[in-house]
Amino acid sequence: MTVVLALPVALAFLAIGSHVAIALGLVTAVLLLMAGGVPTTVIAQTAFKSVNSYALMAVPMFILAGNLMMKGRIADLMIDLVGSLVRAIRGGLAQTVLITSVFFAAVSGSSVGSAAAIGGSTVDGLKREKYPARFAAALVAVGGTLGLMIPPSLGFILIGSIVGVPIDKLFLAGIVPGIMEACLLMIGVGIMSRRNGYGEKIARPDWKRFGTNLPRAVPALLMPVLVMGSIYSGFLTPTETSAFAAAYAALLCLLVYRSVSLGDMWETAKDSLLQTTMIFAVVMGGSLIGFVLARMGVSQALIGALHAADMSPWMFLLIVNLLLLVLGMFLDGIALIVLTAPLLFPAATALGIDPIHFAVIMVANVEIATLTPPIGLNLFVMSGIARIPVHEVARGVMPFYAVRLTGLALITYVPAISLALVH
């Protein structure tokens, strides 16, 4: 009964404007008071241990790398390069935005960061080409979610550090689902653009402009290749690669493109530090919740209930997806992961579900959560960039939910999509 009351209490704190980490901490305090017998030193040690992780050290560096690429306006370069070819088709600029989203996903690992970087460079251009403002904002918001699936993904780093799954395998598992999601979105955008007459198109691909822009874009295009290549060649660990990515992004922006100053670097580093602090605070709060639930035997009780109900894996996955979709309406992606992963992963493993496959399913749900009102972060980011109300962005996202849910169903019930490269 205590556990059942914990979620409404947490949601109540969030509803009155408390930060997620504070809400989790207060709920933990309530649970500990009810559970009793837990020394305060154990609580402190558990909170410290949750962030004293070598794997989590990749988080601040990947955030810094993504923020530098955003500050350096690398998106403008990518959009100009890709658009010189793709804009020859109907809805070409919208397709260019999605392709650029794939590139930023492969360097930032962040949904919000990708949306902010691309949105600032594309929303006004989309409006000028007869795309409705809400469609333009929704397109960037949806494209930004690919940053959670395509490695290096902060979501996979968090899951790997919480449940002990190798992060390099999680990165590998996210490649095919991420590309599949991007392709589904491009098909959906193509259909919507043709049906509604969105966008203008150039007469033919501008190969001359592409050839002119390509040499300048090569250093930026090499970044995802170097990042992923250094991991899968075994040359660097994911954590070491994050430091390399941050250094390479700084080199690009300071010396190659000269798009940021030393002052900009300092401000970007401070912003990245604040973002990291918020993430780590949520991780600490979530780990304490997980510790209390484990101490109260909730995970074992759940596994026992699944065996008693003789629940099949496909039914369990259906229930998990419905649960995560509902919780995603009220929790941001980080909180959703740290709250549910310690509880759901043991249950999934007990039913014979591959933990790597289950991690990809969870990240796919987190992608949708970033687009789901009233908490969806990408909606608020694009509302500010596009200068339209949040509910208008949400209306623009509605046609994309069918595409997103199709991708979630494929990822859930076709494990080979996630596991082909891993195995």
HEC sequence for 163-213: HCCCHHHHHHHHHHHHHHHHHHHHHHHHHHHHHHCCCCCCCCCCHHHHHHH
Q: Is residue 344 part of a domain?
A: yes
Closest CA to 200 of 312, 286, 125: 125
Q: Is residue 169 part of a domain?
A: yes
Between the two ends of the chain, the Cα-to-Cα distance in Å is 42
Q: Residue 47: its pLDDT value, please?
A: 76
Q: Is residue 5 part of a domain?
A: no
| Alpha helix positions (H), 328-354 | 333-350
226: exposed, middle or buried (C-beta count within 10 Å: 0-12, 13-18, 19+)?
middle
One digit per residue, the tens of pLDDT, for the chain of length 423 reads 555 566 666 667 666 666 777 777 777 767 776 666 667 777 778 777 777 888 888 888 888 888 888 888 787 888 888 888 887 777 788 888 898 888 888 887 777 777 877 877 788 888 888 888 899 899 999 998 998 899 888 889 889 888 888 888 999 999 999 999 999 999 999 888 888 888 776 667 778 888 888 888 888 888 888 888 888 888 888 888 889 989 999 999 888 888 888 888 899 889 888 888 888 887 887 777 777 777 777 667 777 777 677 788 899 999 999 989 988 887 778 888 888 888 888 889 988 999 999 999 999 999 998 888 877 888 888 888 888 888 888 898 999 999 999 999 999 999 999 999 887
Q: Is residue 236 part of a domain?
A: yes
Q: Residue 173: its pLDDT value, please?
A: 93
Q: Is residue 132 part of a domain?
A: yes
Q: Is residue 277 part of a domain?
A: yes
Q: Is residue 140 part of a domain?
A: yes
Q: Residue 412: its pLDDT value, please?
A: 95
User: In the chain, how many domains are there?
Assistant: 1
Q: How far apart are CA 179 and CA 102, in angstroms?
A: 8
Q: The tokens of 315 are what?
A: 């039914």
Q: How far apart are CA 279 and CA 281, in angstroms?
A: 5
Q: How far apart are CA 372 and CA 284, in angstroms?
A: 25
Q: Is residue 60 part of a domain?
A: yes
Q: Residue 320: its pLDDT value, please?
A: 92
Q: Residue 10: its pLDDT value, please?
A: 67
Domain region containing 89: 18-29+39-419
Q: Residue 108: its pLDDT value, please?
A: 77
